[in-house]
Structure 1
Amino acid sequence: MNSMGIDKAVGATRVVVAMSGGVDSSVTAALLHAEGYDVVGITLQLYDHGAAVAKKGACCAGQDIYDARRVAENLGIPHYVLDYESRFRDSVMEDFADSYLRGETPIPCVNCNQTVKFRDLLATARDLGADALATGHYVQRKMGPEGVELHRAVDRRRDQSYFLFATTREQLAFLRFPLGGLEKDQVRVEAERHGLAVADKPDSQDICFVPQGSYAAVVQKLRPGAADPGEIVHVDGRVMGRHEGIIHYTIGQRRGLGLGGESAPLFVIKLEPEARRVIVGPRAALARDSIILRSLNWLPGTPVPAAGRAVQVKLRSVSEPAPATIYPRPGGGAEVVLDAPEFGVAAGQAAVCYDGDRVLGGGWIATAESRLAAEPSVAAVVGAE
């Protein structure tokens, strides 16, 4: 049994490494190569190569493909660039646009991991005779009483477990995450120790196909006519103004509403795509303690008990897990009931359940409601969908 838990000699174990051209995936390849594994690097071209070259701060761009190739040459490992552009557009970009048109706030990076990377790339790795697919994600894979488990990274500032909630048990059996037990600073040191040209390369910040964070511009390009104007309505029924498309708004948004004259700040409470309405109101109207999930991915070997299971749940990638109870629902969904209300819960985001550091799984937020007694005026306009 080698260090990756595979019953083969190290030199006979082939590991495909997903190389984005950044420091994390490059160090992943370097560490495995130094251990003596048969490493093969693969870089995915996910969108227009020409446009990508000029875009900084994103993964899988033209410069990144070049950097990945340089690292592979330096290590002396085979390297392949796979054109996944059409798959990426169909599985990630189109869904991103449609989600915004439904008034949701999507997370395309989760969708990319779920489809293009951990479905399509994993299948390609198997076709290449690989025993494992390794990535530079900051997350830990551990063996537990029920089999393989997913855990938060040692470096909490870099932990990416929220974005990997949709990884299945079957995929986890094949995946490896060599950086999960390292701090980011250690990874930079390893990059320098191995003489990698990307040692000082900045981390990617943006969604790769969203230049300068302009989500609305991308949606308009993919869905011409998406920015239909409509009304901005207060939860008490007052028409406050006009907007130039609900794709410019997200649940919980406070800035950029262009509204004045209220004694208290206004927030986006709800989006009504069919009516082209943006509902605004006080922060209190954002409180939600019942969250309905679709497409639940549950990693433990036993299903969610009918009586519920106590968990800690993250509703945004940057938030801390909050105490809650998860209950199963028909059709593969679930309900998460929070111990205390959360504010700004948005459909299209993910709710990821934890037991301490262990990732239990999660699902996509379909609706979020308040079981608290609401004022009639709020209930009349913002009531359950």
Structure 2
Amino acid sequence: MRNKQSQTVVVGLSGGVDSAVSAYLLVEQGYDVRGLFMDNWDAEAEGDEQGYCTAAEDFQDARRVAEELDIPIQRVSFAAEYRERVFSYFLEEYSAGRTPNPDVLCNTEIKFKAFLDYALRLGADWIATGHYCRVRRDEYGAHLLKGLDGNKDQTYFLHGIHPEALAKTLFPVGELEKERVREIAVEAGLHNHAKRDSTGICFIGERAFRQFLGNYLPARPGPILTPDGQEIGEHQGAMYYTIGQRQGLGIGGVPGYPDAPWYVADKNVRDNTLIAVQGHDHPLLQHVGLIAAQPHWLQAPTNFPFRCSAKTRYRQADQTCEVELLSEDRLAVRFDHRQRAVTPGQYVVFYQGEECLGGAVIDQAIRAENPSSIPRRETA
């Protein structure tokens, strides 16, 4: 391998502290570092004044970081790619009554495809981001490992990237705790050392979600029902809600029911109805397995069925399970313990220890009341 001084790294500078410290560490290691700020949401074209203000502020932070580190920076728009590859899918999934995770597709299609392709055309040897994860390289390729900071690990969002993209990527803060990253930012004199972490939709940011989605999928009020069909409230559109959701239902006191929170247990976009239940762990919110589609492997299993751990949401602890291949593009997952609110449209992501193997899109959740409905692969 050539020495670091002759290797060029293009860093995705977002304006946040994680990418800023990533760039700083690479400079300190002797790489030829260049910054790139991605504009991926065309706020003006979308009539989105809030998005425009956020992007402008983030770019100014990224530009100032580049000045502080004495590295060049470019501002590049991938808005067309984002609209076509990510946001259109996001709207299609909500229209179909599913709950997509745009951050996964955003990484797959923009940060580790459009950005990578652009960086390679600039002559980069590597790209780098501020994600909290690690890469181990050996004769079998690049392995995606959890970040050292378990509270910040972001492998769930990166499971869908192409193995060749992973092989070209550096994650400088993956070996650090978040607290140490902020300390390094202070030591390096980076102005954004205390900047709050961004949340919300990838590249779009923090919004009043239902209002934002309503700009593209107009409200369709309909009934909220109990499992036995009693109407207990009105929703603003079944597509806006997700399984397990508590906030925003607006259900008041219901005669015959205790004064306790209600949760979305099911939804039917075709009939525009929601089913709500009381109790965080109501039986209709308990699942023992799932069917998933479009599996993507960073390290493909050699045999099925196989045992591993999995997550069906970002903040979830690893859950032990068995994974069976039903067909080339479908998997069945059987969990050892009940899972709450497994949600179609989200991703199930698989792990062996600290290594992320890959994942798939959840197509169907299997309730605890009907475990026999989890199919098995038919054998000749």
| TM-score > 0.5 by shorter chain | yes
Task: Report how far residue 281 of structure 1 moved.
Answer: 2.9
Aligned match for 2:335, one of 338, 360, 367:
338
**SS of corresponding position for 1:222:** coil
Q: Distance in 2 between matches of 1:228 and 1:52?
A: 25
Contact in 2 for aligned 1:92/1:112 (Cα 8 Å): yes
- Structure-1 residue corresponding to 2:303: 305
1:52-91 equivalences under 5 Å are 52-55=51-54, 61-91=55-85
Q: Could you tell me which amino acid in structure 2 is paired with residue 128 of structure 1?
A: L
Kindly tell me: are residues 256 and 51 of structure 1, through their superposed partners in 2, closer, same or farther at Cα, counting changes over 3 Å?
closer
Q: Could you tell me which amino acid in structure 2 is paired with residue 62 of structure 1?
A: A
Aligned match for 1:252, one of 238, 244, 250:
244
CA deviations on 1:124-153 (whole Å, 9 max, x unpaired) are: 111111111111100011125632111111
Number of residue pairs matched by the alignment? 360
- Structure-2 residue corresponding to 1:15: 9
- Structure-1 residue corresponding to 2:266: 270
Task: Report how far residue 304 of structure 1 moved.
Answer: 5.3
- Structure-1 residue corresponding to 2:354: 357
Q: Distance in 2 between matches of 1:265 and 1:51?
A: 33
**SS of corresponding position for 2:151:** coil
CA deviations on 1:44-101 (whole Å, 9 max, x unpaired) are: 012226643534xxxxx21111111111122221210001122222222222222222
Task: Report how far residue 312 of structure 1 moved.
Answer: 0.8
- Structure-2 residue corresponding to 1:234: 226
Aligned match for 1:105, one of 77, 96, 99:
99
Q: Distance in 2 between matches of 1:103 and 1:209?
A: 23
Q: Distance in 2 between matches of 1:191 and 1:162?
A: 26
Give the aligned CA root-mean-square deviation in angstroms. Answer: 2.1
Q: Distance in 1 between matches of 2:204 and 2:61?
A: 21
Aligned match for 2:121, one of 117, 127, 147:
127
CA deviations on 1:325-352 (whole Å, 9 max, x unpaired) are: 1111324231111112211111111111
Question: 1:295 aligned to 2:294?
Answer: yes
Aligned match for 2:149, one of 155, 158, 161:
155
Contact in 2 for aligned 1:305/1:327 (Cα 8 Å): no
Q: Could you tell me which amino acid in structure 1 is paired with residue 107 of structure 2?
A: N
For structure 2, list consecutive stretches of 5 or more residues without a partner in the other structure.
Answer: 374-380
Q: Could you tell me which amino acid in structure 1 is paired with residue 288 of structure 2?
A: D
**SS of corresponding position for 1:54:** helix
Question: 1:205 aligned to 2:193?
Answer: no
**SS of corresponding position for 1:290:** strand
- Structure-1 residue corresponding to 2:376: none
Task: Report how far residue 28 of structure 1 moved.
Answer: 0.8
Kindly tell me: are residues 285 and 100 of structure 1, through their superposed partners in 2, closer, same or farther at Cα, counting changes over 3 Å?
same
Contact in 1 for aligned 2:286/2:368 (Cα 8 Å): no
Q: Structure 1-normalised TM-score?
A: 0.88
Bigger mean CA offset, 248-257 vs 365-374: 365-374
- Structure-2 residue corresponding to 1:369: 366
Q: Distance in 2 between matches of 1:148 and 1:83?
A: 29
Q: Could you tell me which amino acid in structure 2 is paired with residue 158 of structure 1?
A: K
CA deviations on 1:145-187 (whole Å, 9 max, x unpaired) are: 6321111111111111111111221111111111110111211
Kindly tell me: are residues 14 and 345 of structure 1, through their superposed partners in 2, closer, same or farther at Cα, counting changes over 3 Å?
same
Kindly tell me: are residues 52 and 249 of structure 1, through their superposed partners in 2, closer, same or farther at Cα, counting changes over 3 Å?
closer
CA deviations on 1:264-311 (whole Å, 9 max, x unpaired) are: 6542111111111112235111111121112211122x44523x1111
Kindly tell me: are residues 210 and 238 of structure 1, through their superposed partners in 2, closer, same or farther at Cα, counting changes over 3 Å?
farther
- Structure-2 residue corresponding to 1:382: none
Aligned match for 2:318, one of 315, 318, 321:
321
Q: Distance in 2 between matches of 1:193 and 1:363?
A: 41
**SS of corresponding position for 1:126:** helix
Q: Could you tell me which amino acid in structure 2 is paired with residue 240 of structure 1?
A: I
Q: Could you tell me which amino acid in structure 2 is paired with residue 305 of structure 1?
A: N
- Structure-1 residue corresponding to 2:377: none
Give the % identical residues.
34
Q: Could you tell me which amino acid in structure 1 is paired with residue 270 of structure 2?
A: E
Q: Distance in 1 between matches of 2:298 and 2:203?
A: 30
Contact in 2 for aligned 1:295/1:363 (Cα 8 Å): yes
Q: Structure 2-normalised TM-score?
A: 0.89
For structure 1, list consecutive stretches of 5 or more residues without a partner in the other structure.
Answer: 1-6, 56-60, 380-385
Q: Distance in 2 between matches of 1:12 and 1:83?
A: 28
Task: Report how far residue 372 of structure 1 moved.
Answer: 3.5
Q: Distance in 2 between matches of 1:154 and 1:208?
A: 23
Contact in 2 for aligned 1:216/1:247 (Cα 8 Å): no
Q: Distance in 1 between matches of 2:203 and 2:273?
A: 27
Contact in 1 for aligned 2:10/2:34 (Cα 8 Å): yes
Bigger mean CA offset, 159-168 vs 245-254: 245-254
